[in-house]
């Protein structure tokens, strides 16, 4: 028996494609050699300088230079572009390394098949899903991963007004000093922890009210003996059907302290109107209640969809065994709903942590407070960082908040998600 | 009638009123004369179509509101984003639900994590990248941003595909169907509810988004409705409530109508009768 696997592997490690040639797969060999040539050329002549720029982020900003007797303005290094191109260069380099490894693995695998005199026509059953996933992966890489990488990088720089805004000024790497500021500097610390506390409270409350509200409403309609089910469903779907942005702006007007219809009715009953959006406490109540108005229909539609997928024979069997309404609900309906909605519950929780619209459009983060730096009483972390970015140009602080938020959310959800049954026992229903 | 039913009906009526009232108030306000939010009567004493005329004919000399243009822009952006986004999401969900390939679990986790990273957190990064590609202030950029990440929202669709019995697919396989045939002839016809759901959410997402639209689109002629209306509200606040209400009604009509028409698919029996023994 010959040592085809080892030989092909070493050849491919030496130079991409050689192993494939050794295995007499010439087309594949040519392809890999071409990739190798392009990769080497790019790495040495294009990628290396870009990656070097990424480490320095430029040495000189826009400045004046003396040309003869006149002072002329000269464009310096633009740290921002250096960062973008640097990140792209690293991505390309990683792709090249990945392909190199794949090339070795492929050579070894084919070599092994030759050793065992197996058919080289491999049944490529795992190929189809990747074909399906190609386009989605490209889209996600370009518009999700790249921006995330970029954002995390910015959190380690001093990219903030007034002094470090390209092309006028340079950006520098500053390590963890942005995070240090956020946690330990009084200016930022109080705001950060205050906003964080409200964000957590809000996310938990909003998720549970909407989720169980939705289940209750769905079950309310689906009860035996309730007539005009279609009509009720139609009525309750209305808030879901109206664009969120529109209904939130309408709600803002409805809750208007002076002219809003809600306070008008309060007064008609001889009650004093409430400062729905202008008082710290009531603003929080308003945000949660309005969110229920928007969120419950979503859960209701989902739960009603699940209710129709529960096989009728389960209920029939239960009835034959003499199960009560409650037992059927506990042992058939509820497990089914939970099984099907567990992932949705988590996504909703995370969505609520990042619930930008409800807060931003309803209260704008207000009412304003002296306790916080550039944030209001109902500001969530996301709306705060939006303000930091757009209104105050504190990009590095905003990026650091984004990164922390991301870490917090990711850890939470992985913890919960891997513990739900629908993930572990994914193929249970089949 | 049983007491349980009476309580249920009372609850249903209360929730119904709460759901319907803000919409009703806005619709009626859009036909009311004058421009104030405040009014003594819910039903207008004098009905008028003036606010709609103002929006479409742009005959408010004092303010520039190219409403028709915004409307067409929004339709265009939302429709194309819907088609692209739905396609991407469907492909991803199907691949993850039906195939067990190498690295699948890891990729699922990555999708889960990435899907939760709110897009606009990295809006600054997206902005700079688009600037590099000279795509700022174009609808193409907006469409790319809306649809590129659609794959990450695939968990509901995947959950749906998970509930389609494998036996259907296996039956088709035995009859000699290829991957593609199984997808187009077996899975797609069964996926109408989820297809509707995805299209609606992606369309609505593009229709109502204003964060991205506001940062990418600069010139008023290119604005979408959300940006336009937002500016209308932001500049004049509650002082132009009736005009704003008319704008709201016109924005909500297509989405709401589309939704009402298709909502029955969402709650229809999804696989009822498909898996007969």
pLDDT tens-place values along chain A, 430 residues long: 567 888 888 888 888 888 888 888 888 888 888 888 888 888 888 888 888 888 887 777 777 777 777 777 777 777 878 888 888 888 889 988 988 888 888 888 888 888 777 665 554 456 778 888 888 988 888 888 888 888 888 889 888 877 777 777 788 888 888 899 888 888 888 888 989 999 999 999 999 999 989 988 988 888 777 888 888 888 888 888 788 888 888 888 888 777 777 888 888 887 777 888 888 888 999 999 999 998 888 888 888 888 888 888 888 888 888 888 888 888 888 888 888 777 677 778 888 888 888 888 888 777 877 778 777 888 888 888 888 887 788 888 888 888 888 887 777 767 666 665 455 555 444 3
In a domain, A173, yes or no: no
List the 278-337 stretch of A: residues with Cβ below 8 A of B: 293, 297, 301-302, 304-305, 308-309
In a domain, A193, yes or no: yes
Query: Are A133 and A226 found together in one domain?
Result: no
CB B198 within 8 A of CB B266: no
* Cα–Cα nearest to B108, from A203, A404, A426, A381: A426
Cβ of B125 within 8 Å of Cβ of A151? The answer is: yes
Phi and psi torsions of A70, nearest 5°: -100, 145
In a domain, A170, yes or no: no
Query: Are A193 and A100 found together in one domain?
Result: no
Q: Is the pTM of this model over 0.80?
A: no
Beta strand extents in A45-181 (DSSP E only):
63-67, 70-74
CA dihedral A141, A145, A150, A153 (to 10 degrees): -130
What is the location of CATH 1.10.3720.10 in chain B?
Answer: 67-267
User: In angstroms, rounded to a whole number, what is the distance separating the alpha carbons of residues A429 and B276?
Assistant: 16
CA atoms lying within 13 Å on the CB side of residue A296: 26
In a domain, A395, yes or no: yes
Chain B positions in Cβ-Cβ contact with residue A129 (cut-off 8 Å): 95-96, 98-99, 101, 104
Query: Are A150 and A187 found together in one domain?
Result: no
Please give the ipTM for the structure prediction. Answer: 0.78
Q: Burial of A98 by CB count in 10 Å (0-12 exposed, 13-18 middle, 19+ buried)?
A: exposed
Query: Are A133 and A215 found together in one domain?
Result: no
List the 210-229 stretch of A: residues with Cβ below 8 A of B: 217, 220-221, 223, 225-226
In a domain, A165, yes or no: no
A340 interfaces chain B, CB cutoff of 8 Å? yes
Chain B positions in Cβ-Cβ contact with residue A236 (cut-off 8 Å): 15-16, 19
Which residue does chain B place closest to A152, by CA atoms? B122
Query: Are A205 and A115 found together in one domain?
Result: no
In a domain, A430, yes or no: no
Query: Are A224 and A360 found together in one domain?
Result: yes
User: In angstroms, rounded to a whole number, what is the distance separating the alpha carbons of residues B220 and B213?
Assistant: 11
CB A138 within 8 A of CB A50: no
Q: Considering Cα of A287, then A241, then B143, then B149, what sign does the dihedral take?
A: positive
* Cα–Cα nearest to A136, from B79, B86, B132: B86
Query: Are A223 and A112 found together in one domain?
Result: no
Query: Are A223 and A145 found together in one domain?
Result: no
Query: Are A257 and A333 found together in one domain?
Result: yes
Radius of gyration of chain B (CA): 23
The CATH number of whichever domain residue A291 belongs to comes to 1.10.3720.10
Kindly give, in sequence order, each residue whose CB lies less than 8 Å from that of residue A216, ignoring residues fewer than 6 positions away.
none
User: In angstroms, rounded to a whole number, what is the distance separating the alpha carbons of residues B122 and B208?
Assistant: 19
Task: Specify the DSSP class assigned to residue B237.
Answer: G
Chain B positions in Cβ-Cβ contact with residue A429 (cut-off 8 Å): 162-163
Decide: helix, strand or coil at residue A368.
Answer: strand
Segments forming the whole domain that contains residue A412: 182-424
Which residue does chain A place closest to B120, by CA atoms? A386
Cβ of B151 within 8 Å of Cβ of A136? The answer is: yes
List the 55-84 stretch of B: residues with Cβ below 8 A of A: none
| Class of the CATH-defined domain B67-267 | mainly alpha
- Number of independent structural domains in chain A: 2
Residues A356-392 have pLDDT tens digits of: 888 888 887 778 777 787 778 888 888 888 888 877 8
* Cα–Cα nearest to A79, from A179, A158, A182: A158
Question: b/e per residue, B43-62, with b = 16+ CB within 10 A?
Answer: ebeeeeebbbebbeeeeeee
Cβ of B113 within 8 Å of Cβ of A151? The answer is: no
Residues B63-111 have pLDDT tens digits of: 677 888 888 999 999 999 999 999 999 989 988 888 888 778 888 878 8
B32 bridge partner residues: B47
Chain A positions in Cβ-Cβ contact with residue B230 (cut-off 8 Å): 245, 249
What is the nearest CA distance from A1 to chain B, expressed in angstroms? 30
Query: Are A343 and A407 found together in one domain?
Result: yes
């Amino acid at each position: 028996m010959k040592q085809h696997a080892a030989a092909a592997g070493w050849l491919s490690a030496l130079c991409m494609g050689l192993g494939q040639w050794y295995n007499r797969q010439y087309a594949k060999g040519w392809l890999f050699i071409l990739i190798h040539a392009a990769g080497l050329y790019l790495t040495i002549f294009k990628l290396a300088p870009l990656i070097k720029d990424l480490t320095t982020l430029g040495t000189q900003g826009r400045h004046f230079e003396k040309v003869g007797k006149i002072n002329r303005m000269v464009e310096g290094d633009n740290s921002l572009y250096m960062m973008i191109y640097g990140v792209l260069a690293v991505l390309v380099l990683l792709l090249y390394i990945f392909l190199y490894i794949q090339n070795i693995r492929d050579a070894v695998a084919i070599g092994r098949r030759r050793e065992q005199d197996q058919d080289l026509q491999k049944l490529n059953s795992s190929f189809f899903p990747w074909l399906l996933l190609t386009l989605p992966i490209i889209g996600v890489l370009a518009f999700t991963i790249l921006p995330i990488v970029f954002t995390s990088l910015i959190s380690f720089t001093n990219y903030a007004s007034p002094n470090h805004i390209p092309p006028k000024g340079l950006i520098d790497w500053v390590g963890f000093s942005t995070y240090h500021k956020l946690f330990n500097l009084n200016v930022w610390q109080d705001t950060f922890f205050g906003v964080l506390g409200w964000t957590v409270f809000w996310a938990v409350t909003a998720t549970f009210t909407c989720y169980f509200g939705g289940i209750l409403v769905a079950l309310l309609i689906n009860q035996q003996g309730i007539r005009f089910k279609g009509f009720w469903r139609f009525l309750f779907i209305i808030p879901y059907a109206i664009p969120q942005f529109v209904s939130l702006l309408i709600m803002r007007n409805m809750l208007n302290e002076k002219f809003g219809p809600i306070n008008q009715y309060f007064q008609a009953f001889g009650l004093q109107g409430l400062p729905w959006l202008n008082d710290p406490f009531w603003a929080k109540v308003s945000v949660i209640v309005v969110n229920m108005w928007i969120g419950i229909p979503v859960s209701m539609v989902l739960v009603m969809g699940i209710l129709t997928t529960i096989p009728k024979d389960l209920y029939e069997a239960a009835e034959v065994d003499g199960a009560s309404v409650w037992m059927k609900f506990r042992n058939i309906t509820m497990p089914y709903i939970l099984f099907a909605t567990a992932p949705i519950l988590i996504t909703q929780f995370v969505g609520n942590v990042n619930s930008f619209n409800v807060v931003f459009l309803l209260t704008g983060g207000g009412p304003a407070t002296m306790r916080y730096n550039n944030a209001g009483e109902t500001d969530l972390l996301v709306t705060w960082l939006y303000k930091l970015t757009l209104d105050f140009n504190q990009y590095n602080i905003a990026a650091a908040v984004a990164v922390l938020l991301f870490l917090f959310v990711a850890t939470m959800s992985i913890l919960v998600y891997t513990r739900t049954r629908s993930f572990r026992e994914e193929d249970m229903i089949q | 009638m049983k007491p349980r039913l009476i309580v249920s009906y009372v609850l249903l009526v209360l929730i119904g009123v709460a759901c319907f009232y803000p919409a009703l108030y806005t619709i009626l306000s859009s036909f009311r004369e004058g421009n104030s939010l405040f009014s003594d009567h819910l039903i207008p004493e004098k009905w008028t179509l003036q606010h709609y005329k103002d929006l479409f004919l742009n005959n408010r000399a004092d303010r520039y509101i190219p409403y028709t243009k915004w409307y067409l822009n929004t339709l265009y952006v939302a429709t194309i984003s819907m088609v692209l986004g739905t396609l991407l999401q469907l492909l991803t969900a199907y691949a993850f639900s039906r195939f067990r390939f190498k690295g699948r679990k890891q990729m699922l986790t990555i999708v889960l994590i990435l899907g939760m990273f709110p897009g606009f957190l990295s809006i600054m990064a997206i902005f700079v990248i688009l600037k590099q590609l000279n795509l700022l202030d174009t609808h193409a950029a907006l469409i790319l941003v809306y649809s590129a990440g659609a794959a990450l929202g695939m968990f509901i669709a995947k959950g749906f595909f998970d509930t389609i019995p494998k036996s259907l697919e296996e039956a088709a396989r035995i009859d000699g169907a290829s991957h593609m045939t199984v997808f187009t002839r077996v899975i797609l016809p069964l996926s109408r509810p989820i297809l509707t759901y995805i299209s609606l959410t992606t369309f609505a997402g593009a229709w109502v988004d204003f964060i991205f639209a506001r940062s990418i689109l600069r010139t008023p002629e290119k604005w979408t409705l959300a940006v336009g209306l937002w500016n209308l509200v932001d500049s004049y606040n509650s002082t132009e409530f009736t005009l704003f209400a008319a704008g709201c009604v016109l924005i909500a009509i297509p989405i709401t109508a589309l939704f009402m028409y298709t909502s029955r698919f969402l709650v229809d029996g999804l696989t009822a009768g498909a898996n007969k023994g």
